[in-house]
Amino acid sequence: MKLRRIAGALGAEIEAVDLAARLSPDAVAEIRRAFLEHQVIFFRDQPLAPAQFMAFARHMGRPIEYPFVKGIEGFAEVIEVRKLEHERQNFGGIWHSDTAYLAEPPMGSMLLAREVPPYGGDTEFASQYAAYEALSEGMRRLLDGLKAVNASSKADATRTREELTRQKEIVAEYVAEHPVVRTHPETGRKALYVNVGHTVRFSGMSEEESAPLLAFLFRHQVRPEFTCRFQWRAGSLAFWDNRCTQHNPVNDYHGHRRVMHRITLAGDKPR
């Protein structure tokens, strides 16, 4: 197993491993260490069948159902994320942490490329460790005591009509309060935990009062030096730590088809 970093802030590609094979405990532990250290890890040439994809996911955590979109046939925890040739809007097309509006947001997510466009469709990732650590001491003190309100309704605009037709029973809205700065339960490091896709306001404040500081944080936390960018090929797999990263699927391939399979892994209540 070989590891190659792809950017300064986060991201590493793991080579010379076949995820369809039976992984030894040592291999599982090595992958897990790389995941915690680099925040998002990538694999190439992994044309996994759904059952093999699920088997790898279970090595890393507990797969759970996504709250809105139905799973593929036979695998409730595997959802299809697709943009078709005629669509202009992609799924989740904004910087965000996955489902931060849940009381227990996911630990991580895995995305496996099935069909990719001839160009474009990259995904960007941003380290929220780096974003927090780059703030001034005074700003860190201010944010450490704040909580933020996150709502699923804020993300509605990023879902296409085709995605909405594949929804499960519609829930009016999920809302959850989480610390603006969360402590990673495994590494002990602090990370910013607000995002433009879901965060509405600070707890105890109005949206208008919250807007100036949130606007600053939304700009700050995705500065180029905190990011990496991944170019997909069919069979590529990304596994990111939702507790300390954000991601943004770049919507620059209109007229082409992109199909991915995704698995979400259970997390815990941010602290």
The pLDDT tens digits of the residues spanning 228-266 come to 999 999 999 999 999 999 999 999 999 999 999 999 999
Q: Is the residue at 28 inside a domain?
A: yes
Rounded Cα distance, 120 and 231, in Å: 8
Rounded Cα distance, 211 and 58, in Å: 40
Q: Tokens 């080579």 map to which residue?
A: 15
Read off the pLDDT of residues 149-208 as tens digits, 9 standing for 90 and up: 999 988 654 454 344 445 555 556 899 999 999 999 999 999 999 999 999 999 999 999
Q: Is the residue at 101 inside a domain?
A: yes
Q: Is the residue at 61 inside a domain?
A: yes
Q: Is the residue at 10 inside a domain?
A: yes
Rounded Cα distance, 255 and 88, in Å: 8
pLDDT, residue 119, reads 97
pLDDT, residue 129, reads 98
pLDDT, residue 173, reads 86
Q: Is the residue at 13 inside a domain?
A: yes
Range of the domain at 73: 2-265
Read off the pLDDT of residues 12-55 as tens digits, 9 standing for 90 and up: 999 999 999 999 999 999 999 999 999 999 999 999 999 999 99
Q: Is the residue at 271 inside a domain?
A: no
Regarding pTM above 0.85, the answer is yes
**120 Cβ contact partners less than 8 Å away, ≥ 6 residues apart:** 250, 252, 253, 256
- Residue count of the chain, please give it: 271
More confident residue, 1 or 52: 52
Q: Is the residue at 171 inside a domain?
A: yes
For residue 263, how many other CB atoms are within 10 A of its CB? 28
Read off the pLDDT of residues 77-132 as tens digits, 9 standing for 90 and up: 999 999 999 999 998 889 999 999 999 999 999 999 999 999 999 999 999 999 99
* Cα angle: 115, vertex 120, 126; to 5 degrees: 100
Q: How many domains, the chain?
A: 1
Q: Tokens 């250290």 map to which residue?
A: 37
pLDDT, residue 143, reads 98
Read off the pLDDT of residues 120-161 as tens digits, 9 standing for 90 and up: 999 999 999 999 999 999 999 999 999 999 999 886 544 543
Residues annotated as catalytic are 96, 98, 247, 262
* Bridge partner list, 265: 63, 108
Rounded Cα distance, 154 and 49, in Å: 34
Q: Is the residue at 270 inside a domain?
A: no
The pair phi, psi for residue 148, each rounded to 5°, is -125, 150
* Bridge partner list, 141: none
pLDDT, residue 67, reads 86
CATH code for the domain in which residue 66 is found: 3.60.130.10
pLDDT, residue 172, reads 65
